[in-house]
Structure 1
Amino acid sequence: MSRNHRSHYLGAEEKARIEIIPMIDIMMFLLVFFMLATLKMIQGAGIKLDLPQSSTAEALQQTIKVSIGVTKTDELYLDAKPITPDELTAHLKGLVGDSKKVDVAISGDEGTSYKNIIHVMDLVRAAGISSVALATNPST
């Protein structure tokens, strides 16, 4: 008897169903979000402009971003690839020789000595690069 009583409250006659309207709402929201995000990523897309002439116009200098890693054991990494100090200086001089602006970010292990970081900064400056930054993690 308790079975009949329990089935009455659970609605045994009703079958389970899947509600798809909330799923459709979420999909529409995602569609609109990604459409707006891609429009912001494409600068000036779809706009045809006739730019005026200038006698003093210069081409923008292309910027190259380089990341140098320094470990606690004095190992150097250029864009996540191991490199020696001599190879690093030669590579950076080659980048500067292409008349491009080079920005260097130096990432050091937390236990890396100050002397090692200064040595890498000297190597970068010896290559003729003055735009040097030290990478850190933001504090929370």
Structure 2
Amino acid sequence: MKRRAHGIKPTKIEIIPMIDTMFFLLVFFLLRSLDIINLESLGINLPKESEITRPKIEKVEKQVTVAIKANSFVYVNNRLTEYEDVGKAIIREATAQERARLKQPTAVLSEKAIEKMSVVIQAENGVKHGLVVTCIDSARSQGVQRFAIAVDQRLVNDKENAPAPPPGP
């Protein structure tokens, strides 16, 4: 016969708190990775060559940033660009970044890489909505599908400088 001492209970491993902790860590690292945006741009003057000999780039590691100033100047990775040519400039910048990263000066972006690439749009206060839409349309015409609009979190979280609510009815 088996006898147990009074007051000693068999130990149980609770799995639910462990799952909660792992989920919290997963969410934390995902949200943290969204904050990391590299705003560097690389200027590379590459020789011309036929597309047949060029290796295809299947994945773009960095985002391309489009900054729109209040005076309607548009910058793609800190380079002044006409807003009608934003799509071509985005592809040019992404290609230059990936060529430098892969150390293959003749590589070109594949359609798959262009579709998966992210474009971050930073528009100053006072920029007309139509200009932002024109830049997005120009990028979409080149095959870009993923966009993000950057906001200043300090302004979002700043309660003291928030505008007054509209008057009630």
TM-score w.r.t. the length of structure 2 is 0.42
How many angstroms does 1:91 deviate by? 2.9
Total equivalences in the alignment: 81
Counterpart of 1:104 in structure 2 is 119
Distance in 2 of aligned mates of 1:79 and 1:132 = 15
Q: Name the amino acid aligned to 1:75.
A: F
Q: Name the amino acid aligned to 2:125.
A: E
How big is each residue's C-alpha offset from its partner over 1:79-125, in whole Å with a ceiling of 9 and x where there is no partner? Answer: 11211235432233454751233210000011111111111111111
Pick aligned residue for 1:125 from 140, 144, 153: 140
**Based on CA coordinates, which of the two structures has the bigger radius of gyration?**
1
Q: Percent identity between the aligned chains?
A: 15
Q: Name the amino acid aligned to 1:67.
A: T
How many angstroms does 1:136 deviate by? 0.4
1:70-89 alignment, distance < 5 Å = 70-89=68-87
For structure 1, the 5+ residue unaligned runs are 1-59
How many angstroms does 1:61 deviate by? 3.1
Distance in 2 of aligned mates of 1:91 and 1:126 = 12
**Judging changes above 3 Å, is the alpha-carbon distance between structure 1 residues 133 and 90 closer, same or farther for their aligned structure 2 residues?**
same
How big is each residue's C-alpha offset from its partner over 1:54-96, in whole Å with a ceiling of 9 and x where there is no partner? Answer: xxxxxx8343310001112211101112112354322334547
SS at match of 2:90: helix
